[in-house]
Chains A and B, each alone.
Chain A
């Protein structure tokens, strides 16, 4: 190298080192920019459809919004959705808070098992639990109702799962895991010295609880409540499985049935107008969620933690507390599982009896559409690999732009990346369906394949992918990158040799987490699936159920769980219990 060459290289390195932030390579910002455009475009498509007389070539109109306000069914759906979400939040908090408290502060036995159970609960498909509870608590034929009726000569329908409270109960059981993971860590982090000080100052346990403990966990509690609310406003599985039987429609199933109506052509405009309304509500809630999280700083306690919390002995309450937690797992996981096993073995649903046992067989397994399942298993595997990969690539790019670049408006990227957390995924699915069906040339052959599903799900998962990548990237000190740059490493080398290896553990378990979510996803896949080349195993399960083949649907759901559990075990092994739970905090299930 010549002297001039050395001088030029030294100048480049100096310029690099002196920059206040390491500028992101322009190429590094391309995926994030493409992702941000795609997210905003999908939202814009929904709004645009809602404002046109016909989706493609219509004129501007507010007719769909007028219909929305004047159609009684739409108002009913809104009330149903709000009622369902309210019950869900109450149930999730009522279960999640005590279990988080027991795990964080007491000597509750089998704590690792609780973490494992909660992680499994987060990943269990909603339709699995919903089908199980429908069989258990159907007002007339539910196994529990029939037993209670026979044992105590009660009127049928003591418990009615086909109701807003019933649906909220089932959804709340599932989302209690979300409350748990969001509270367990903040609760564990509270310095016990504060309570000891309150005790020394003469405060009683209740006074301490209300004046010290609760205020400290209020932000996390509020954030958990809002997040559960946002999820339940948009959820599809549980209301679709349970609600349709009782003519109880909530937002996502209602939008689905407007796009695939019981008669006549699809009403994209009305579905989009309803979506736009819910979009506004969801974004409002998410802004509130962000604000609550920001306000959490007001509750931070200055200084390092002085002492470690000794688990509070539960004494004689230790076993009852463990029984309470076990009861939750029985309700949320075990009972639905056993019920599905029972349903899968029967030709038609019936309560356990000698006659029923004589009917048990594996016919439902043998009559499954195996050729289709083989094909959709491939699609599902493709989704499980490509969705987390694409979502993480986009997330890394988003984080790079936000944390490492000098791109103007980089903070807007962070907000756009968070949007899918707020926007109900069925809205993205509706827009994507419209785009791939009507806008893209048919010659591309993308409609009806897994491509639209991959794109939408990857964009949806960017919201929590960026929480992971932001957290991981922020921990990498810039000096490491500076050192690499001064040593002559290019930007690509810097990314491949320094940044990504340091982020690898976080990337690995968030990749697997997203793969697991992709495995069980139903909202986006059901909306976008048409031909078998773009269908997943979850959609086949739902179709079998909707067509009345409950036995076959239960069989396939059990097969899905059999595939899911080893993957969950690998995830837990990979992330460790602590990692799993903190991963779950930033990556609660998509809707």
Chain B
């Protein structure tokens, strides 16, 4: 009797696991487009190579997640007449992802994804570690190829973010709403910081605050800090876990939450207005390098920019007619003078900013008292 029971239950367990497998094997939908644009020879060559690969692995932290990734690959397929599938994996944080990719390169292992999408300094770290390959931009877009050149020929920008101050509108009201980073320190409210000290590498640049001022600010900020939350954790500000997150990485994440009815606001501070671009780069030894190259090229097209704006409420300010370009112009008209953290900026400032940045991370992640 017991024997029969054991067998029956074993069958039930296997059936259950098989069900999971069947559900799992349901298969991701792949889409394809029909209309390929009029393409030049170099693009056609890349398209043919991408067709042979048929897939793309992408790790990222898109607000729209897998749906956004699918929309992008659908648009990509339609533009180039491909049927490529995409595998989107959200990663916990950019620094974590960069560390993994560099370790894989050092070990001679193939990278765990085809490309990296992230801000300038992450691309610089990957480039310095020999993790990325030269990039082509055969399919012309409105983006000036000088940006590819500036990156050392390894990356192109595809969207813009404005670091600043995210605040809970129920906890910080009226005259309390800060207009500068310095104002934040005057408030007696629970502050949040990011474990990787987002924004401080730029603040510590001699062209902006310089190392001493940035360290002093971080020290004062950390004394009032109630906790840590990474960029993308703006919902913790909306929920009242923190009153302020500064520097926060991106205005658009806050705007998305605001549109959902969350009590959250955002300020681009007057004392250090910064622009970050997200760049795309192809990883050395990746499984689908041609698809990745073409896809990164595609990210600067009007179709991709529309998708970014739909899901992320951002696009690339460098492109004509972009929403962020208009926003930038409007802010500049108000007297904002943006520091753009591009590769030239990093080359000029990182030698002094990097040591300070490492110290600031220690300050932000160590609890005192």
Contacts and interface: CB of A to CB of B under 8 A. Distances in A.
A, B in one complex = yes
Interface of A: 72-73, 76, 138-141, 146, 162, 244-249, 259-266, 347-350, 355, 359, 367-375, 377-378, 380-381, 384-385, 437-438, 442, 447-448, 504-505, 508, 512, 515, 530-532, 535, 540, 542-544, 546-552, 563, 566-567, 570, 573-574
B99 A265 contact: yes
A369 B108 CA distance: 29
B232 A262 contact: no
Given A246-B226, A264-B99, A371-B66, 14 more contacts: A245-B241, A262-B197, A264-B358, A347-B257, A350-B238, A372-B66, A372-B89, A373-B24, A442-B107, A532-B89, A540-B90, A543-B92, A563-B20, A573-B5
A550 B24 contact: no
Contact of B235 (A139, A380, A550): A550
A138 B16 CA distance: 37
30 contacts: A73-B366, A138-B241, A139-B226, A141-B236, A146-B240, A247-B367, A248-B367, A261-B99, A262-B365, A263-B197, A265-B99, A347-B260, A347-B262, A348-B239, A349-B238, A370-B66, A372-B90, A378-B24, A385-B17, A442-B107, A447-B109, A508-B10, A532-B89, A546-B93, A547-B232, A548-B230, A548-B231, A548-B236, A563-B20, A567-B16
A201 to B, nearest CB: 45
Contacts of B233: 547-548
B61 interface: yes
Contact of A372 (B87, B102, B107, B367): B87
A368 to B, nearest CB: 7
B190 interface: yes
Contacts of A530: 100, 104, 112
B91 interface: yes
A215 to B, nearest CB: 38
B41 interface: no
Given A374-B23, A378-B24, A532-B89, A548 B229 contact: yes
B161 to A, nearest CB: 15
Given A512-B13, A544-B90, A377 B99 contact: no
Contacts of A348: 235, 238-239, 257, 260, 262
Contacts of A380: 20
Most chain B CB neighbours (cut-off 10 Å) among A249, A355, A532:
A532
B230 A546 contact: yes
Given A372-B87, A530-B112, A548-B234, A437 B239 contact: no
A547 B23 CA distance: 26
Contacts of A544: 90
A50 to B, nearest CB: 18
Instruction: Tell me if B's interface is mostly helix, strand, loop or mixed.
Output: mixed
Contact of B87 (A247, A261, A532): A532
B26 interface: yes
Interface in B36-94: 57, 61, 64-67, 86-93
B241 A369 contact: no
B100 A570 contact: no
B87 A371 contact: yes
B330 interface: no
B158 interface: no
B13 to A, nearest CB: 6
Given A535-B89, A549-B232, A262 B57 contact: no
A377 B90 contact: no
A259 B90 CA distance: 19
Contacts of B365: 73, 247, 249, 262
A538 B280 CA distance: 28
Contacts of A375: 24, 87
Contacts of B23: 374, 377
Interface string B229-255: 111111110111110000000000000
A266 B21 contact: no
A140 B241 contact: yes
A248 B57 CA distance: 34
Top 5 closest pairs, chain A to chain B, by CB: A531-B112, A548-B233, A371-B28, A546-B92, A349-B239
B207 interface: no
Given A547-B91, A567-B13, A262 B196 contact: yes
A133 to B, nearest CB: 14
A400 B112 CA distance: 41
A247 B227 contact: yes
B36 to A, nearest CB: 25
B195 interface: yes
B184 to A, nearest CB: 17
B357 interface: yes
B331 interface: no
A551 B257 CA distance: 13
